[in-house]
Amino acid sequence: MARSYLERDDLIPQLAEIFRRYGYEGASIGVISKETGAGRSSLYHFFPGGKEEMADAVLAQISDWFEDNVFVPLKEKPAEQALPEMAAAIEAYFHSGQRICLVGAFALDEVRNRFSERIEGYFARWCEALTQCLQEGARSQTEARQEAISTLAAIQGGIILARASGNDMAFQSAVAAALARAQRM
């Protein structure tokens, strides 16, 4: 039988896109209600903590997705397989830079302070997984970590450049160059 009630988990991907589009401050409860089609009372029913709980749930969901689809593969698969897979995954996830990284955007915003643990954890875990992957070769850990940082910066910066220019090329070019560097060891 068809479900006739909304569920909390169904809301989260929608909330993610709304926060991406409007930012944390710009996404008012009114906007969220209109865009999701859920009434105010429903939203507060699922997220008694209000907007802050909504954003936290979104960040948690994003973290989980990256854990399963990016971080774990990086740590478990050989580099020559894991790196192209990561490239494909983020190319698809970020829509060639036109879909922003919510965690990165929050890091630049004032809300960074409210979600600092989630933000810090996301990048720390990504950096750690990538470092471990790159260390597979002859590199020192220091070298591998620096390469990992450069790669993550290229991805985040690539998104900014792509959004600023309206041109996917900046993202693709920055990411491709970074991954080629990472792969060559």
State which residue, 37 or 84, has the beta carbon closest to DNA: 37
Q: Which of 14, 61, 69, 146 binds a copy of itself (CB under 8 A)?
A: 146
Residues ≥6 apart with Cβ < 8 Å to 34: none
Q: Does residue 138 belong to the site contacting DNA (CB under 7 A)?
A: no
**20 Cβ partners below 8 Å, 6+ apart?**
99, 100, 102, 105
* Cα–Cα nearest to 102, from 166, 48, 22, 165: 22
Binding of a copy of itself by 29 (CB under 8 A): no
Decide: is 110 part of the binding site for DNA (CB under 7 A).
no
54 is an interface residue for a copy of itself by CB under 8 A: no
Cβ nearer to a copy of itself, comparing 79 with 174 = 174
Q: Do residues 31 and 18 make contact, with C-beta atoms less than 8 angstroms apart?
A: yes
Find which of a copy of itself, DNA, none residue 89 binds, CB within 5 to 8 Å per kind. none
CB burial of residue 185 (10 Å; 0-12, 13-18, 19+): middle
Q: How far is the CB of 101 from a copy of itself (least distance, A)?
A: 8
Nearer of residues 24 and 46 to a copy of itself, judged by Cβ: 24
- Given DNA, a copy of itself, none, residue 45, with its beta carbon under 5 to 8 Å by kind, binds DNA
Angle between helices 79-93 and 168-183 in degrees, nearest 10: 170
CA dist., res. 63 & res. 144, Å (int): 23
Q: Enumerate binding residues for a copy of itself (CB under 8 A).
A: 21-23, 25-26, 100, 103-105, 107-110, 112, 116, 119-120, 122-124, 146, 149-150, 152-161, 163-166, 170, 173-174, 177-178
